[in-house]
Copies of this chain bind each other. A is one copy, B any other.
Amino acid sequence: MNTQIVHVNLGPRSYNIEIGSGNLGEAARLCQADQDGAHAIIITDANVDSLYTEPVAETLAEHGCEVGIMVVEAGESSKSSDVADELWETMLEDGADRKSVVVALGGGVVGDLAGFVAATFARGLPFVQIPTTLLAQVDSSVGGKVGINLPGAKNMVGAFWQPRAVLIDVDVLGTLPDREYRAGLAEVVKYGVIQDADFFAYLETNIEPINRRDAAVLAKIVQRCCRLKADVVEQDEREETGLRAILNYGHTFGHAFETATGYEQLLHGEGVAIGMMCAARLAQRMRRVDAAFTARQRDLLEAFDLPVAVPDVSHDDLLDLMYHDKKVDRGKLRFVLPTRLGQVEVVAGVSTNDILAAMDEEG
């Protein structure tokens, strides 16, 4: 399979996303490991470390690069100021300087954390993303959002810090637990709904190869999602024009579900899948889409074995959580709602009644 390139055009901060199969060895070139005095710091988590640190570290070392490896605990709890602080101090001890490259090897947690550390150490180091989950490959590794959580507030501290390059090897998805793989597919479906009806149809006709993680199909899917996300990020790098908000389709509901269930019951993608169903029902209630749209979205999510049922939590509590999301601009709750397959709008002034009704299965 040939490597596919998605170029993210952000002027002086432009970079390439390279997507292939068995291409982890390209890390050396992307980290400029051959340069005199090259130094790379691989930040990864305990799960990924045992699988993929060795091949990446070896290829860097073979090209003459000095390599440091920092392993954090797997899971969202590593996206904390305490862990960032530990990484900063370890990097200092390891002699990291302005020419060191940070390599984020892992899923979204590692990418966000390592990216934040890269953005802030010595006022900013170059970093290379090597996302190892489907979610990170199609979403969090593109666009430069990095950050850590505060107690009770995800991603509250961070930066916009673009990577120097993103290296995606779809082969690594082979070791991903089933549930995590499927959670990533929720974001894949999202791109079809919000930006690309043809891509949605492609997914519908490729359910079987997707479910068995066919490398060629995966590379195509990842490439398309990265391109779609890059199209948005290129027009609204710092979330200023409002366009980037469309990527949050399903997320207002989804975040509330994740929070209400203590981030333990649902994976992010699962929350988004259920949130997309609520958003679709909300749009249907508001006569923006018809029942066929909602059914088609549900069928595809279910074909990927994704949950679509709202968790068993008081809907009033969920509503309350939505109003306290950090994206809510001083009390004005907005929803990303479909107008047709492949197109969404940001809608304000939705009635509380409609929001509550959309969380009922019957919509």
Contacts and interface: CB of A to CB of B under 8 A. Distances in A.
A49 to B, nearest CB: 24
Contacts of A286: none
Contact of A81 (B88, B122, B151, B152): B88
B158 A120 contact: yes
A157 B87 CA distance: 11
13 contacts: A37-B330, A81-B85, A88-B150, A89-B150, A97-B326, A99-B330, A119-B159, A121-B156, A122-B157, A123-B145, A123-B155, A123-B160, A124-B159
Smallest CB-CB A-B distances: 6 pairs: A81-B85, A123-B158, A120-B157, A37-B330, A88-B157, A92-B150
A46 to B, nearest CB: 23
Given A326-B97, A329-B97, A330-B99, A92 B156 contact: yes
A260 B61 CA distance: 36
A107 interface: no
Contacts of A121: 156-157
Given A89-B151, A123-B159, 12 more contacts: A37-B330, A88-B156, A88-B157, A89-B150, A98-B329, A99-B329, A120-B159, A123-B155, A123-B160, A123-B239, A124-B159, A124-B238
Given A81-B81, A97-B326, A160-B123, A92 B37 contact: no
A153 interface: yes
A338 B97 CA distance: 27
| Contact-residue bracket for chain A | 20 to 34
A147 B88 CA distance: 13
Interface in A90-131: 92, 97-99, 119-124
Given A159-B119, A160-B123, A97 B330 contact: yes
A100 to B, nearest CB: 10
Contacts of A145: 123
Contacts of A155: 123
Contact of A153 (B92, B119, B159, B329): B92
Nearest to A331: B37
Of the candidates A120, A124, A147, A238, the one having the most CB atoms from chain B within 10 angstroms of its own CB is A120
Interface in A129-187: 145, 147, 150-153, 155-160
Contacts of A89: 150-151
A158 B150 CA distance: 18
